[in-house]
């Protein structure tokens, strides 16, 4: 949605086709998208969608291999391409890629796939490469990190051109640093570690808790941990660690920036196989927060400058045997920031300097250049 809004601001006519009509955050759509961006989905025709679902369920009971609902969705997508004179399609999820590809075949409309880590995870885990023909149909592939690009190109031959474009974010109105601490009853002088992520175990939530416990046991100052996210898994952790001092579970919130502003350090001890370029780590940088994270996926590309070696964070390894975060190394890295003011200040300055790489304006400009190049090549 940020990309769509950015392209619209540059004067382009942008349409979003939501392939998951049942998954809509209306408040988020209203906040991120200007009125000029058209949003389409099967929800535009409730009666047609209802009968497509019914026929799909019947087909599944009869053992049909193909989804009748997806056929209906593709038919609507095809009609929208003609009605709104779409000149280029950019899809952003494996499900959308698979539905778009057969509709676009032979139309002459350029097809750009953005890989956010799903295909990278499939290749790494050795899954069936049945998705390869879809990728090969694209005119170009955008990966959100060089890590994803390298895994794809090593695992699959005969791909179209692959280009890395870092995700960009925007911070409209930075939250005040003290508001979160006041809300949670955290003392002004406390050193606060915080984590924002999806509520899945692979993001390393429990490793963050265990490392914080180890740090708190030996810390010479008040340290606090704020965990921002919601899921049944996190509800279980909240119950398990209910008696732990200094740990704050705030649940799923619409405004994680409010909490990030109050952190001193951002955490992401992830061991997620599809960790492409986590937006949470980028958001930490935009609030001048040094990062403690595991060295997985594209995280190093966010935190470190390969040319100068300058870093905006401390990266820790996964345990070679378990491929889980090294809790001891995490605790040590966290302690360094709490005790070494010079290191903290240097990494805070580095965080500010790296923000420009992940600005929404830079991201949109790169997509615009790619789209115009691909449209020009098709036209010629």
pLDDT block averages, 10 residues each, the chain of length 380 = 95 93 81 92 76 65 68 92 96 95 95 96 89 96 97 95 94 80 94 97 98 94 97 97 94 91 97 94 96 97 94 96 96 97 98 95 97 84
CA distance 110 to 281: 32
Whether the domain at 2-169+360-379 and the domain at 177-358 fall into the same CATH topology = yes
262, 226 Cβ separation under 8 angstroms: yes
The predicted pLDDT at position 62 comes to 62
| Crossing angle (nearest 10°) for helices 327-339 and 341-354 | 100
- Structure tokens of 142? 């955008």
Task: Specify the DSSP class assigned to residue 299.
Answer: H
pLDDT of residue 58: 65
For residue 79, what are the contacts with CB-CB under 8 A and spacing of at least 6? none
CB < 8 Å & 24+ apart, contacts of 78-85: 78/103, 80/15, 80/17, 80/40, 81/107, 81/109, 84/13, 84/15, 84/38
Cα 252 to Cα 198, 228, 249, 304: the distances in Å are: 9, 6, 9, 29
Cα separation, 79 vs 102, in Å, equals 14
Q: Which fold has domain 177-358?
A: Rossmann fold (3.40.50)
Q: How much is the pTM? A: 0.90
Domain map (residue ranges) of the chain: 2-169+360-379, 177-358
pLDDT score, position 19:
86
Q: Which helix (H) or strand (E) element contains residue 280?
A: helix 279-286
pLDDT at 66: 58
User: CA angle 59-67-105, nearest 5°?
Assistant: 145
Element housing 268 (H / E): strand 265-268
Say what the pLDDT of residue 267 is. Answer: 98
**What pLDDT is stored for residue 42 in this prediction?**
85
CA distance 77 to 54: 20
**2-169+360-379 has which CATH code?**
3.40.50.2000
């Amino acid at each position: 949605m940020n990309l769509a809004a950015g392209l619209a601001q540059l004067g382009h006519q942008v349409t979003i086709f939501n392939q998951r009509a049942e998954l809509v955050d209306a408040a988020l759509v209203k906040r991120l998208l200007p009125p000029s961006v058209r949003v389409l989905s099967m929800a535009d025709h409730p009666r047609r969608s209802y009968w497509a679902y019914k026929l799909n369920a019947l087909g599944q009971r009869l053992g049909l291999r193909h989804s009748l609902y997806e056929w209906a969705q593709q038919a609507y997508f095809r009609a929208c391409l003609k009605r709104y004179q779409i000149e280029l399609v950019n899809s952003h999820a494996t499900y959308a890629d698979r539905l778009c590809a057969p509709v676009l075949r032979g139309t002459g409309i350029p097809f750009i796939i953005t890989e956010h880590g799903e295909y990278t995870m499939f290749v790494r885990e050795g899954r069936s490469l049945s998705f390869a023909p879809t990728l090969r149909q694209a005119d170009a592939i955008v990966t959100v990190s060089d890590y994803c690009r390298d895994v794809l190109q090593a695992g699959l031959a005969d791909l179209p051109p692959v280009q890395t474009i870092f995700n960009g974010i925007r911070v409209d109105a930075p939250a005040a640093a003290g508001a979160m601490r006041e809300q949670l009853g955290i003392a002004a002088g406390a050193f606060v570690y915080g984590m924002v992520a999806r509520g899945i175990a692979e993001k390393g939530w429990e490793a963050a808790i265990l490392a914080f416990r180890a740090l708190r046991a030996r810390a010479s100052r008040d340290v606090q941990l704020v965990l921002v996210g919601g899921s049944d898994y996190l509800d279980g952790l909240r119950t398990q660690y209910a008696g732990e001092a200094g740990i704050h579970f705030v649940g799923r919130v619409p405004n994680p920036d409010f909490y990030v502003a109050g952190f001193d350090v951002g955490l992401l001890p992830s061991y997620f196989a599809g960790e492409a370029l986590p937006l949470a780590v980028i958001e930490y940088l935009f609030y001048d927060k040094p990062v403690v994270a595991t060295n997985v996926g594209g995280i190093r590309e966010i935190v470190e400058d390969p040319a100068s070696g300058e870093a905006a964070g401390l990266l820790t390894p996964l345990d070679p045997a378990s491929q889980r975060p090294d809790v001891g190394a995490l605790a040590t890295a966290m302690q360094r920031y709490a005790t070494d003011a010079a290191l903290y200040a240097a990494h805070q300055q580095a965080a500010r300097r790296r923000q420009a790489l992940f600005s929404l304006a830079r991201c949109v400009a790169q997509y615009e250049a790619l789209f115009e190049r691909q449209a020009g090549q098709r036209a010629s």
